[in-house]
Each structure stands twice: as C-alpha cells, then as structure tokens.
Amino acid sequence: MDGVFPRPACRVDQYTCSDGTCYPGSFECDGYDDCLDGADERNCQGDSWSEWSEWGQCNVNCGTGEQSRSRHCLNSNGEGCTGDATEYRLCHFPRCYPEAGSGCGTRKIQPMPRIVGGENALPGEWPWQAMLFYIPGNSVYCGGTLIGPRHVISAAHCFEGTEFSNKQNWKVILGKYLYDRYEVDSTEEPVEFNIVTLTMHENYNVGIELDNDIALLEIDGQAPVNDYINEACLDTNGTAHFNESSYCFVTGWGSLSGNVATYADVLQEALVPLLPFDLCNHSYSGGLSDNMMCAGYFSGGIDACQGDSGGPLVCMHGSSQEDPGRWYLVGVVSWGIDCAAEGYPGVYTVVKNYFDWIRTHGGIP
C-alpha cells in the first residue's frame, strides 16, 4: 500500500537479529536458526520454556486463516526467557458459501475456494475493482471500488498534493484485468471515465496520521453491469456482520515486494482474515484510531502493498442456499509497516464509519 511506514525497532516481546530483523520472542532458543547468523540459538539455558500448547482453532470458517499456540517461560530467576510466547501458522478451512446470482456484490466468475492468498485473480472475479490511472505519471497509482453506477470509493492519501488532487490528472478504469492500460485481450471489457467530483474527507489526517483515509469519486458516466463490471454492496442497513471468521479478500495491482517496485501484470488477490482490533493496535503501539481496522496474518507473508492503496477489502455475507452470499466493501487499503512483514498486518479504513459521509456527498441514494 502507498502509505507504507519504515520498519520501527523491534518490540519488547520480539527477538532482534544482528541485521535488525524482528522475530517473535518464542523463536529464541526453539531449536531452529531463524537469524542468518544463528544468534537466536546462542546462549540458551536448557529447557527454559514450557511445552507448546496444542494449536488453537482456525480463525476462519472458509478459506485460509491463522491459528496460534503458546508457551510460557519456566525460569524463576528472570534469566533467559521471560513471560509468554505465541506462535502463528496458516490453516485452511475448505467449506465456503453459495453466491447470489445478480445485484450488488455478485460476480459471474466464482472460482473454487483459494487455499492461500497472494495469487493471480481470474478475469471478472472482482468486478467492482477500479483502476486509478494517474495520467502525468502514465501509471496505475491506486485502486478503488465501484459502489454505485457513478461512484467509486478510494483512499484520501492517493490524492495528496496539488497535482494528485487535480481531478483532470486521473482516469478511472473499470473492467480491467491487465495492469497495462493500453493492453486489452478477450478476458476484459474496460471502460474509462473522467472524474467529475473528487472529494477527500475533510478530516483526513486531522490529529492522527492517515485517519479518515477515504475519498469519494464521481465519474462522468454510468458504469455498465456485465461479466466484468459490477458494484460491491454496502451494509447501510447494518444487517451484515463481519468478524474474525469472515471470508475476506484484498485485491490490486500493487507491488509484489515491499522493497522492489515490481507491479503485478494482472490483478492480484489475497485472502486476508479480519483481526481483533486490540491485538492489532498493540502491534502498532496503540497508533490506530477507531476508523482503522486490520486484516491479514501476524505471521506475515500475505498483504497489500504499494500501489494497492484505495483498493477494496471485501467480505462475503450469507451462508446458505436461502441466504446466498454477496460481497460487501468492508475496508479501504490504507497503510502498514513494510508489506507482509511479520507482526504487522495491513491497516484499512473502516467503511461503515462513513456511510453518512458518503450519503451526504451523493454516493448513497
């Protein structure tokens, strides 16, 4: 995601390798060399840790999630290890849901459940994905989500500065699968729009860095609905509820590496479970506001990255033939520490906090 912060010093509950890499404290003296120089396995004082607990339940009931186990320090003299340690690993739950056939949050392409995130999407699999093309830079700078025939939600930080806040410098492209604006094949039916109105939240960055990181774009035509273009749902009635067991994806053409600006040739998707606010806020040293949420994996490896900013975090609601699933826009890609870094899952703007704001500016009837 574009709002990427530099990696801070390791937390007190983490082990710091000589090259500055942070690992969970439980990695020290666990019998495996995690640091390149093996420093985490030196000066170990026998069996100072208890046995690991059994692995806990997977935190999702569809697709890929995360489970944890813990152990505690047995040393009474305060030397060596201290406190408790937690370890995470990915887990897979194969049962997923039937999807509705038409209306918001539906798609013609319904692939088999994915085992892990971070892979190529299929053409038309995420039809609400918008590409925000910055004309002066001749490049895709951010993503967005179609929420209505003429409105797209994105992140406010994509439009910071005089040039980026100029609506004439942007094209909104719907129905796109390939990263190259000018390359089109039979798997996509792209439609380009100009921006009529670009509204950044008036309290963006007031008091807290990247707080209220949301923007509403009005386009100069009505988006068609077809196999490759459709709008995501908004839970304006408050009837859809999402938690750590929800089935959620983040999508975009962003960088495939936090250290190298190598962007994806085709739209990428990552299955990312929602995470408890308190636990994630602790990872970020209390730096989150109530307008922020986290999704991803504490173990790292799967995340949004530079260029994904403003794009959708969507979750499915509905779990039976009587109540088939629809995809709802739950979050907007906002910021994080590095990309897919262990201990620092992605941070997203909480969309439901802005329904009144979106309605005020015409994005919701």
Q: Which residues are catalytic?
A: 157, 213, 309
Residue 169, token pair as written in the block? 């410098």
- Which residue, 292, 132, 92, 158, is CA-closest to 219? 132
Closest by CA to 192, choosing from 143, 131, 107, is 131
Pairing of strands 84-93, 248-252: unpaired
Tokens of 156: 């406010």
Closest C-alpha among 139, 144, 167, 141 to residue 154:
144
Amino acid at 168: Q
The burial of 176, by beta-carbon neighbours within 10 Å (0-12 exposed, 13-18 middle, 19 or more buried), is given as buried
| Residue matched to tokens 């406010």 | 156
User: What is each CA distance from 357 to 39, 110, 221, 309, in whole angstroms?
Assistant: 52, 32, 22, 20
Which residues is 123 bridged to in the sheet? none
> Alpha-carbon distance 315 to 296, whole Å?
13
